[in-house]
Amino acid sequence: MKIVYEKEEAEIEEGANGFAAAKALDAENKAKDVAYKIGERMFDMRAPIPAGAEISFVREGEAAAFELLNHSTSHLMAQAIAHLFPNAKFGFGPSIEEGYYYDVDFGDKVITEADFPSIEAEMRKLSKENLPFLRKDVTPEEAKAIFKANPYKEELIAEHESERISTYSQGDFVDFCRGPHVPSTGYIKHFKLLSVAGAYWRGDSKNKQLTRIYGTSWWSEEELKRHLEVLERRKANDHRKLGKELGLFFISDYGPGFPFFLPNGMILKNSLLDYWHKIHQEAGYLEIETPTMLSRELWETSGHWDHYKDNMYTTKIDGRDFAIKPMNCPGAILVYKNDIHSYKELPLRYAELGHVHRHEASGALNGLFRVRAFTQDDAHIMIREDQIESEVKAIMALFDKVYAVFGLSYRIVLSTRPETGYIGSIAFWDKSEAALARACKDSGREYQINPGDGAFYGPKLDFKLKDSMGRTWQCGTIQLDVNLPHRFGCSYIDENGEKKEPVMLHRVVFGSVERFIGIITENYGGAFPTWLAPVQCNVLPVNPEFHEGYAREVEKALQAAEVRVKVDDSNEKLGYRLRNSQVQKVPFTLVIGDKEKEGGTVTYRLYGQQKQVSVPLAEFVKIIRKSIEEKARY
């Protein structure tokens, strides 16, 4: 039969599967082919290929293959757990960005990391058995019989009553799964169990808490070793640890999820926000501030009261229900509605550093990464339909500028119209999605499509940032919204004097300012660039009795140049004070002795370096000012 491979027609046997196709068409790489694709959909290598299909192979080393490997490893781990703990019941076991996890109900048994070696040993044993992953489609009745002792699978099966259900088995283990998988357990050789945590079934705190075991799986021992080394670096760079050591922030038992910023943390935060103010002013944004608490009627109009009330903090004032804002957008809408607008005014770019509160589950709280109160660097931009593409391109240029300052690369994901429940015409959605896609292409940026994952009111672009340790963070977002302008009756007067509804773009750069501080703290390992560092320069007189006078002159000159400077004139030995300056990760450390005092010079050392450089004081002021103004690392 004929199929299409690498854009050319190819002939393979009728009913041939991926293995046979790889042998005939991709002999050089067949040992590394772990699945095949038709369009964007992946299939097991054992699956027959339909006549006329256009196929490609998924090979070891590709992102899709890594995801496949880790999902398959979650099944291998589940099989090992089933052997060691026969009463265990399994929930979900997906792949995640750098590995996988499985949620397991162990009953009364408490699983800790001390159990990992025995689970890993059983996994290695099953890997050596090279058990094939076999797919079987069954009816809901057959699935119920297979999983009759597992209430979690029974719940999922009940949601698929009208369709056939796919299962995968390897040896004596069977799981309810869409697949696909690597061909056999023999492909899974380089893995490590990482941590254990609690997780409510389906993320609902009203459900039972299961045990979530995290792991990671790689194609080679070298890749696994490198990844484990990165994980160790991440532990050392944990922002909670560094936040305490550097005096940035803390979270009190009196307010779980509500961070306290210390003096050094406020310097860092304000430096970040000063930059935010500057770039937004330059880009034509109008800064606003809206109230922290607004009435129930507003949140009913916006839809938050019906769909988000459980995550909102509410109270009564004069007998009326009020809520602390979890989002800034309804307030920005009221600002827009405060006046009559012409088409000539659009786009109107409202920017707000809004302090929002969300009632997050206590188990989800995590330093600055997940809090209950945070500053959202929002912008809400009112535009005409014909301005969507140009405005998105302008926002993307702003994102480029900001993320480059922090050395953060990113990829873009375009989320498109949901299958059901969306508002607006399909023609509008198609036009909007095409405009977002063109904006990406015209900006020279590739993007991935996440089909059906747009909000019900419009498509969106998500910007996935990558830090110095390879982690991906969701920060920037551009969300197109026709819902809120309609719900609030927003309008502008067009060129014909008629009222038209504007389109609104929701847009964040940092996302949560607090979370972004956590990200860059770990990205830099606490060694912030000079412009962000709480103390930019530490001055150490060799002998405070003789050299403090000149050290104070240096301090005064640096303060006049708006440098954050500290003089360490303690009675500790110079070596101790030098080490302490490194521990505090101060960008520039100056040593002031006889030579410097007599010559009007300073001797400076950059953080993390042993080299010392002597220059006239005036020249050093220029050096550190340049580092600050150019936002250089040092």
Q: Model confidence over 541-568: pLDDT tens digits? A: 999 889 999 999 999 999 999 999 999 9
Cβ-contact 34, 69 below 8 angstroms: yes
Q: 373: closest CA among 512, 246, 225?
A: 512
Measured in degrees and rounded to the nearest 5, phi and psi for residue 477 equal -145, 140
| Element containing residue 380 per DSSP (H, E) | strand 373-383
pLDDT exceeds 90 at position 39: no
Q: Taking the model in full, what pTM does it have?
A: 0.83
- What residues pair up with 413 in beta bridges, in sequence order? 448, 462
Q: Report pLDDT digits (tens) over 261-274.
A: 999 999 999 999 99
Amino acid sitting at position 2: K
320, pLDDT greater than 80: yes
The per-residue pLDDT for 544 is 87
Q: Quick one: the chain helix, strand, coil %, rounded to 5?
A: 40, 30, 35
Percent of the chain clearing pLDDT 90 (strictly above): 74
Sign, Cα dihedral of 156, 162, 167, 172: positive
Burial of 73 (0-12, 13-18, 19+ CB in 10 A): buried
Give the count of beta carbons closer than 10 Å to the beta carbon of residue 269.
19
Residue 554 to residue 332: CA distance in whole angstroms: 47
Buried b (16+ CB within 10 A) or exposed e, 427-454: ebbeebbebbbebbeebebebeeeeeeb
Average pLDDT over residues 491-506: 95
Helix (H) or strand (E) holding 598: helix 594-599
- 11, 68, 428, 431, 613 from 449: Cα distances, Å: 31, 19, 18, 15, 51
Among 512, 447, 439, 446, which residue's Cα sits nearest to residue 474?
512
Please report the domains of the chain, with CATH numbers, ordered by start residue: 2-59 (3.10.20.30), 64-236 (3.30.980.10), 255-290+325-523 (3.30.930.10), 537-629 (3.40.50.800)
Strand partners, 191: 217
Question: What positions carry a catalytic annotation?
Answer: 329, 358, 376, 378, 380, 460, 506
pLDDT of residue 215: 97
Closest of 606, 605, 604, 608 to residue 634, by C-alpha: 606
* Residues ≥6 apart with Cβ < 8 Å to 307: none
428-473 per-position pLDDT tens digit: 888 888 888 988 888 888 888 888 888 777 889 999 998 888 888 8
Which helix (H) or strand (E) is 357 found in, with range? strand 348-357
Instruction: Give the pair of three-digit tokens for residue 318.
Output: 């004069």
Q: Which residues contact 383 (CB under 8 A, 6 or more apart)?
A: 346, 347, 391, 502, 503, 504, 505
Token couple for 241: 């640890």
- pLDDT class for 634, splitting at 50, 70, 90? low
- Order the strands of the 613-616 sheet from edge to edge: 565-567, 537-541, 588-592, 601-606, 613-616
Positive or negative: CA dihedral 374, 375, 377, 380: positive
pLDDT digits (tens, 9 = 90+) for 68-100: 999 999 999 999 999 999 999 999 999 998 999
Sign of CA dihedral 617, 622, 623, 624: positive
Res 162 pLDDT > 80: no
Report how far residue 561's alpha carbon sits from residue 590's, in angstroms, rounded to the nearest whole number.
16
Structure tokens at 539: 């001055």
Q: Which tokens belong to 355? A: 């302090």
Burial (CB count <10 Å: 0-12, 13-18, 19+), residue 466 = middle
Dist CA 300 CA 309 (whole Å) = 10
- Any idea what DSSP says for residue 345? G
Is the pLDDT confidence value at 335 over 90? Answer: yes
pLDDT of residue 6: 78
